[in-house]
Chain A
């Protein structure tokens, strides 16, 4: 603390209007201190801006997609040899049987538009490998359309899509084994003829993952559902358990060795590498309790155990910071210990609890490692059902999808991964927004 009087005890002389050397020094220190603060905040915000802008720059392309519209002749002799439109009979024609139809469709279109490009080979490479599956689904759902000519909107292949997003150029196509400059010229010609268009890509958000051969068809549907289910489990288990445990430890537990042990133990749990929680999850929830593999319920339980320490530490810190006078005042007017805690201490600690919860959930939302051993780091194409059964169906998760995409060889997945990160951050921002609103309601100083 500053000295109130100078060493000789004599009153200080000087003008109020003119600062003496010491005041100047103290004021300078004050300004410096404030500048440090501003620097610190700017460092954090700049880092955020830098990271976010690089994510957005890489990922924004994932939200639009190139499509090719073609007239497909659904030849009866290929799709329904018996001619009686029996769905089961027609289902025997696999997707491999549909590819020639698509190939014929694009060749027809090229001929009809009068496009001639020297050295052009395999024009069907412009179309995604997903196309045959889409067409087959359509035919099996509308068996009566066999024999007709149907206008169909196909996904363009990943390289063509990349061409319009600047990822693939004529020069790189020259070297690329999967696309040729002639094919890009064809795409340009088709674009001019109006067969090619780039639109917003809802499928990126709703479609399930696709294999490495068709980056253009992959989406986040299953991952978003999986993450959402897991967050529900985590929120509904970790928040009440975490808060209840903190209240007990902070307010009710007798201060003894045992409480110390629990306290140390909890902060220690926060330092356990997250994959170890996966080992625990495999041993307890799957092998012992018999829960299914790859299920969001198991993922949620494992992430709950993982986030509990974070929430408990944050909650305890904010309970600690509620001044004892509040408790004493409440007790003084006759409240029971329980009433004091629930009616007075807890609301005052709410902002801190919320912060802890948000950080904990953010961590849970972004973790891949603990999901590895319980089978959620997976390629899942079937949507999980609606809750509660859905909690037990296989699903992946957003960070898993991001991780999987970053390890795939096709460069188109880099853009997808960044797009997925944008979606993840939007999730996070929504959660933050709720927290901000709640925090503003509770935050106060006394």
Chain B
């Protein structure tokens, strides 16, 4: 959670200049955590 908490709190300080570095760091975090896909049952009739 260390990365998560610091990333979230630092978002307000982000600029377009350090956007790419932040995006790549977040990608590594999300890729390592594996985005979870849980199937959502569709409502009846759909």
- On whether the two chains bind one another, the answer is no
